Structures are given as structure tokens and as C-alpha cells.
Amino acid sequence: MRVILQAGYRSEQLGGQVQATRATMGFTPCGRTPVDCRVAYVFYDRLEELSRASKVPLGRMLGLAIAHEIGHMLLPQPSHSPEGIMRPSLELERSILPIFTAAQADTIRARLDQRRYGSDR
């Protein structure tokens, strides 16, 4: 798995290719199976811009965006949820950091175990 930070021209070019809005902070292109989800992209320049405008530390925003995209790589599709780190949009007004739900955490652990120990476990 890889997370690639994009900025400047590459960010704009890639965002245009996936028809991302200016509010899109990253994306993970996935195929039909979780094995297809190996690379995630985070739009660093957009996070930097939003960080300045919202007064939320860039490190916090970057961590949230990376965790969210890693969630796409490890959870079955569709992986957005109404609560937690996998919400489709950032919740900048909340003082508590969003986390994976208990069910999502269980799924991630099981998938990581499968990758580590094989599917017969």
C-alpha cells in the first residue's frame, strides 16, 4: 500500500482526471476487489489551503486524510459511513478526532490478518 501526496499541477491534473471537486482532499482508485486498492492519493495543496482557512493544524488534517484513504484500501466498497473517520467529508468543527467504527476496526484487523497469515486463518 502506498499513499502519494500530490500538489500543484499534478494535483490539479489528477483531480481533473477523477472529476474531483475542490472539496476533495484525496482519493483511492479501487477495482472490484480490495486487492485492487493499493495506492491512495492525497491532495496536499488542498489540505494546506483548507488548513490556513480553517485554522486547523495541517498535520491534523493530513493525518485525517491519510487515515481516511487507508480506510478505503482496507475496507470493502462502498467504504464511506455516516460516522467516524470514513465520513465522506472532514468535520473540522469537532474537537474530538474521528476514528474508525468498531465494525470497521474489526474488518481492518481481519483483512490485515489475511494479508499477513493467508486466507486460511
Q: Where are the domains of the chain?
A: 2-117
Region 101-116 average pLDDT:
88
Sheet of 2-6, strands arranged across: 2-6, 39-43, 26-27
For 86, half-sphere exposure in the C-beta direction (CA atoms, 13 angstrom radius) is 21
- Report pTM: 0.83
Region 49-62 average pLDDT:
90
pLDDT band at 121 (very low <50, low <70, confident <90, very high): very low
* Residue 94 CB contacts under 8 Å (≥ 6 apart), including other chains: none
pLDDT band at 86 (very low <50, low <70, confident <90, very high): very high
For residue 91, give the C-alpha cell. Answer: 468535520
According to CATH, the topology of domain 2-117 is Collagenase (Catalytic Domain) (3.40.390)
Region 43-47 average pLDDT:
91
Alpha carbons 119 and 113: distance in angstroms, whole number: 8
